[in-house]
Amino acid sequence: MIQRERQYKDPRLNAAAEELWSYRQRQFEIKRLQAKSEELRDRYSVGAIAYDGIRVQGGARKDKLVQIAVEWADLQGEIIARTAEAEHALWEIESRLRTLRYNQRQVLELYYIKGYSVIKIAEMMNYSEIGVRKIKYNGLKSYAYGADA
């Protein structure tokens, strides 16, 4: 489940929220690719040589196992590349989050990176829902504007 943030009037706040959401979206995409990779691996390992692809009067035989193996290897490369991108994005996000107050950083991490709802964060941190929304807004503002906020 991907929750969507409301749009702010300030474009910098929207850009900051989108940047924080992008990490979570990358994680979902990596998990989807890993599931597809697992499926291909299972098809490859279960498959046996099929002789129905051999032509009697010439022509090349299409080997489905080779196609699956190539597709699986391509997926592995894409997973590695996307994981590296996600790790780099998280490093940048975390370095900017470290400049925030502790409770702002905690709320933004729980909301955007971990995907918890405002209600769940309020329960976890023993704050009111309105208090968490204010902390989230102020934290997002500090994240977007840095020391200028």
**Domain assignment present for 18:** yes
- Residue 109 inside a domain? The answer is yes
pLDDT at 139: 95
Domain membership flag for residue 6: no
Over residues 43-66, the pLDDT tens digits come to 766 555 555 555 555 555 556 777
pLDDT top residue among 22 and 61? 22
Would you say residue 30 lies in a domain?
Answer: yes
- What DSSP letter does each residue of the chain carry, written as one string? ----PPPPSSHHHHHHHHHHHHHHHHHHHHHHHHHHHHHHHHHHHH----GGG--SSSSPPP-HHHHHHHHHHHHHHHHHHHHHHHHHHHHHHHHHHTTS-HHHHHHHIIIIIS---HHHHHHHHT--HHHHHHHHHHHHHHHHHGGG-
Question: Does residue 27 fall inside a structural domain?
Answer: yes
Q: Is residue 36 part of a domain?
A: yes
Is residue 3 predicted with pLDDT exceeding 60? Answer: no
The answer to whether position 62 is within a domain reads yes
State the residue range of the domain holding 130: 11-148
pLDDT at 1: 40
- Is residue 4 a part of any domain in this protein? no
Count of domains observed in the chain: 1
Q: Over the stretch 80-113, which tens digit does the pLDDT of each residue have?
A: 988 888 888 888 888 999 999 999 999 999 999 8
**139 vs 47, higher pLDDT:** 139
